Structure 1
Amino acid sequence: MSADPFLPASAASGAQISRRPSRLALAILMLGGFITVFDLFVVNVAIPSMQADLGAGFAEIGFVIAGYELAFGVLLVAGGRLGDRYGRRRLFVLGMLGFAVTSFLCGVAPDSTSLIVARFLQGATGAILFPQVYALLRVLHDDAGRRRAFGLLGMTLGLAAIAGQVLGGLIVEGDLFGLGWRVVFLINLPIGLAAAHLSRAIPESRLPEATAVDWAGIGLATLGLTLLLVPLLEGPNAGWPLWTWGCLAASALTLAAFLVWERDLARRGGGPAIDLALFANRGFAAGVIVVLAIYSTATSLFLCFALLVQSGLGLSPFAAGCLFAPASVGFVAASLTAPKWAARFGDGAIAGGALVYAAGILWLIVQAGALTGPGDALSLLPALVLLGFGQGLSMTPLLNLVIGFVEERHAGMAAGIVSTMQQVGGAFGVAVVGIFFVALLTDHPAGAGPDAERYAAAFAGAMVYNLAAVAFAAALVLWIARRRKPA
């Protein structure tokens, strides 16, 4: 079975297809992976333009990002199981069409509330689309072809992250037809429709005995996490009224109900969304916490950095995207070498990568404190490259470390849990960092000083959480490494 973090539990055991996919089929699958990651990154450079156009505050912008990640994360396993049962190509087409339509809804959203709803739906359709890419690549190839296909996919996703920032910035700045940021979403409509039409080249694949989707469990998890994120994002602006504390209490009760439901469903022989028995393995449980912590820092960093360099320093979207692109290059370069470092130095290499990541964040905090205007933006480049390199060294091998604690027959379920924690961690990080960012901006009101100083102070203060979270993750990885007894 595969230990890929996005491969659903049943996908790894799907029946092999007799004929190999054509180059067109492979290209369409790559495109499916590309657009989901591209849209995750392109929003970062478009955020300041959205904020200005829609008159949105940080809470609304936070929901635009966190809503996508939340829906994507909690529905990933469901998307994989639906593909196993009803046909992976069929669900790929459905997901592609859904992603195209919801992208159009994002592009024509008249206000921030409409955009938030559309982004949540876009994340849900992405969760239907994305698992089919991994599952189809897994079942349509033999071992040698699978290695080549997944290598190509890894390169595609890396390029999508870079293109999302550079090309996305160019699209926003180009202001095509006077639509501004809306084009980054509207462009998905023709691409998605064309890809869905050409998907006939992909052979069908299914697993008739696939486990049923645990819709009750998914519903409880979604409700509980939403009740957690809403007050965390709205609380700082609203002054933490009584309803925010009520939501937090309701979130705790709902998530507790989710855990009880999952345990009882497993006892009855059903197919829970998350098999809680896996958490009896202390190494796996600790590893999931590491994933949650370290992935809670990435999206929040991108968001705050975009606001710093565009709203604070006054850089254009394209310049902002180009400024952050070297960090993505560092990530891709480190990802290619990370397996060799892990093989040579063991799990300690992952902790070392996390410390490099932390050093990059600390350097960025120090450099941000010295910013006075757009002319200082290039001083951030070395810290960004170091940060991206540290991310690649720590995040890439971390997933195999965590999944390595479970037996091979549970690898698919463990991968689903890990991939969900990646996305939920990103949404949680946006909410938590937003508390500090908004509070620090409020302490330095507009007109009281240059925007560069205001946003630099807010960025530096908010990134203290990221620094602490990565340092905690590094310490926990070292603890895991000393006690590791993988299955």
Structure 2
Amino acid sequence: MNSNSCFPAPLVRAVNGPPWLGLSVLLLAGFVTIFDLFVVNVAIPSMQAGLDASFAQIGFIVAGYELAFGVLLITGGRLGDLFGRCRMFIVGMAGFTAASALCGLAPGAGLLIGARVLQGLAAALLFPQVYASIRVNFDGQDSRRAFGLLGMVLGLAAIAGQVLGGWLVHADLFGLGWRSIFLINVPIGLFAIAAARYIPESRASQRPALDWTGVGLVSAGLALLLVPLIEGPGQGWPAWSLWSLAVAVVLLALFHRQQERQRMAGGWPLVDMRLLAQRRFALGAMLVLLVYSTSSSFFLCFALLVQTGLGLDPFMAGSLFAPCSVGFVLASLAAPRLVARWGTRAIVWGSLVYAVSIGLLIAQVQAAGPELAPTRLIPVLVVVGAGQGLIMTPLLNLVLGFVDEAQAGMASGVISTVQQVGAALGVAAVGLLFSTALAAVDGAAAQAGQYVTAFVAGMLYNLGAALLACVLLLMLARTQRLAD
């Protein structure tokens, strides 16, 4: 590993020990990319009114970023391996900053959709470098602390997308309205680019040419997978969405076969499929998919309940996530120490706390019914946040710790992609349950009652996924004991 700065010689800095200052820059980048996944949700009414946008256009404003982000994550991770992770970090951040400015200045819905796609593509170049740079620059307890901080920051970014985003839209700073949620990225991005000198450069020891056939197959396959998962539920799963899923399966199977042939021929595949054949890494990837699917779908369900169902404004609705963030931060700070002492068992207990808290939240909402007072949910929301912190924070370090340093970029791209697929899967599953329950409720019922019923139905997916995560973590803990 080359541990020089990615800037020219005059700015080279000797690195003594883990680069904690560089970590702060990586965490900032991770925050803004995840923040932009969630912040648009609270600005939808303002955008629709300001741009005279249709519901379909609003859907693509939300989904365009997620789609572009998810599709190119594996390629972004590999580009970091080949050309340098710090260098690709700067390229990705520059693109993300420019695209954010275009989003904030877009005069119409069509241009905003295009800018959101560009923003997602830039984030896909940027985000895997965060994981991979931490993986190669931190070891042992330092690695657990670094990934613990990353997990905490990513969780806070999701919550801040609701709270800070709601405040920005509500405050209407300088008369910018919803545009401020994008323009705030510009000074942050410029600062991150200037501070990137503190991130040590690293790349894979060997630098083969990029497998463009693999890039084409996996990008097309993931696009055809994510588009129907994001758009299908809202349109009632039309025929095109089912055909798209079928073609996606075929293309991803062809990608697997092509990658294996590339490896057997002595080439350098985009993804070494032996990585996915490793039992511990495969179980870890499934855990990431499940856990992150519950996070995204929870925010969606709760936002619909309190905004549309109970009539709260964006800032008040977003502020209800603040107690959740308190629990998340406290648990995230404790998680690395708990894992250092108890190993994977600490994450198992965290998953149990998470599953039980979701069950309690469902029970409390159902018992209150249309008379639900959102502030009475604060205690259980604190526990939900704590459960997320106990499982999400150490999970990334656990899974990426199963791979060699030389595969860090590849594994980071795979895990980042799994996160986005999981998020889309969770939103699709919850959206289907939520909309079905909403349609089944008697039209004469009060709106609050309708949304309470739909919330309970949608959150059943989260409860099932959290319980399944407990089972997989027990299997993973047993596998680790056998390996040791």
Tell me, in whole angstroms, the C-alpha distance in 2 between the residues paired with 1:327 and 1:154. Answer: 15
Counterpart residue type for residue 186 of structure 1 = L
Tell me, in whole angstroms, the C-alpha distance in 2 between the residues paired with 1:478 and 1:144. Answer: 23
Superposition deviation, residue 461 in structure 1: 1.0
Tell me, in whole angstroms, the C-alpha distance in 1 between the residues paired with 2:233 and 2:135. Answer: 45
The alignment status of 1:476 with 2:472, answered yes or no, reads yes
Change (3 A) 1:130 1:455: same
Summarize the alignment of residues 11-410 of structure 1 with structure 2, pairs less than 5 Å apart: 13-17=1-5, 19-20=13-14, 29-50=26-47, 57=55, 63-109=60-106, 114-133=111-130, 157=154, 160-193=157-190, 195-196=192-193, 198-199=194-195, 201=197, 205=201, 207=203, 209-369=206-366, 370-372=368-370, 376-406=373-403, 410=407
SS at match of 1:107: helix
* Equivalent position to 1:455, from 441, 447, 451: 451
Tell me, in whole angstroms, the C-alpha distance in 1 between the residues paired with 2:255 and 2:94. Answer: 31
SS at match of 1:19: coil
Unaligned runs of 5+ in 1: 1-12
- State the TM-score, normalized to the length of structure 1: 0.83
SS at match of 1:251: helix
Superposition deviation, residue 147 in structure 1: 8.6
Partner of 1:8: none
Tell me, in whole angstroms, the C-alpha distance in 1 between the residues paired with 2:338 and 2:23. Answer: 30
Counterpart residue type for residue 301 of structure 2 = C
Superposition deviation, residue 248 in structure 1: 2.2
SS at match of 1:250: helix
Change (3 A) 1:483 1:85: closer
Show CA shifts across 1:162-189 (max 9, x none): 5433322210111234442221012223
Counterpart residue type for residue 370 of structure 2 = T
Superposition deviation, residue 143 in structure 1: 9.5
**Paired residues of 1:162 and 1:329 also in contact (CA < 8 A):** no
Partner of 1:9: none
Change (3 A) 1:153 1:109: same
**Paired residues of 1:28 and 1:195 also in contact (CA < 8 A):** yes
Counterpart residue type for residue 224 of structure 2 = L
Partner of 2:9: none
**Paired residues of 1:81 and 1:210 also in contact (CA < 8 A):** no
Change (3 A) 1:380 1:218: farther
Show CA shifts across 1:192-243 (max 9, x none): 34554x3585578364843443333233223223223333444444444432
SS at match of 1:269: coil
| Greater Cα offset, 466-475 or 20-29 | 20-29
Fraction of identical pairs, as percent? 55
Tell me, in whole angstroms, the C-alpha distance in 2 between the residues paired with 1:69 and 1:15. Answer: 32
Show CA shifts across 1:129-148 (max 9, x none): 23445566677899999898
Show CA shifts across 1:338-386 (max 9, x none): 233334444333222222112222222223332536x711122122111
**Paired residues of 2:226 and 2:421 also in contact (CA < 8 A):** no
| Greater Cα offset, 337-346 or 170-179 | 337-346
Tell me, in whole angstroms, the C-alpha distance in 2 between the residues paired with 1:242 and 1:388. Answer: 38
Counterpart residue type for residue 106 of structure 1 = C
Tell me, in whole angstroms, the C-alpha distance in 2 between the residues paired with 1:397 and 1:139. Answer: 17
Tell me, in whole angstroms, the C-alpha distance in 2 between the residues paired with 1:192 and 1:407. Answer: 31
Superposition deviation, residue 252 in structure 1: 1.6
Change (3 A) 1:146 1:383: closer
**Paired residues of 1:79 and 1:129 also in contact (CA < 8 A):** yes
Tell me, in whole angstroms, the C-alpha distance in 1 between the residues paired with 2:135 and 2:404. Answer: 19
Change (3 A) 1:391 1:143: closer
SS at match of 1:296: helix
Superposition deviation, residue 298 in structure 1: 0.8
Change (3 A) 1:351 1:290: same
**Paired residues of 1:64 and 1:115 also in contact (CA < 8 A):** yes
Tell me, in whole angstroms, the C-alpha distance in 1 between the residues paired with 2:161 and 2:469. Answer: 27
**Paired residues of 1:232 and 1:435 also in contact (CA < 8 A):** no
Tell me, in whole angstroms, the C-alpha distance in 2 between the residues paired with 1:128 and 1:453. Answer: 44
SS at match of 1:326: helix
Counterpart residue type for residue 13 of structure 2 = R
Counterpart residue type for residue 14 of structure 1 = N
SS at match of 1:271: coil
Counterpart residue type for residue 104 of structure 2 = G
Superposition deviation, residue 99 in structure 1: 0.9
Tell me, in whole angstroms, the C-alpha distance in 2 between the residues paired with 1:276 and 1:284. Answer: 11
How many residues align structurally?
A: 471
Partner of 1:3: none
Superposition deviation, residue 23 in structure 1: 10
Superposition deviation, residue 313 in structure 1: 1.3
**Paired residues of 1:404 and 1:486 also in contact (CA < 8 A):** no
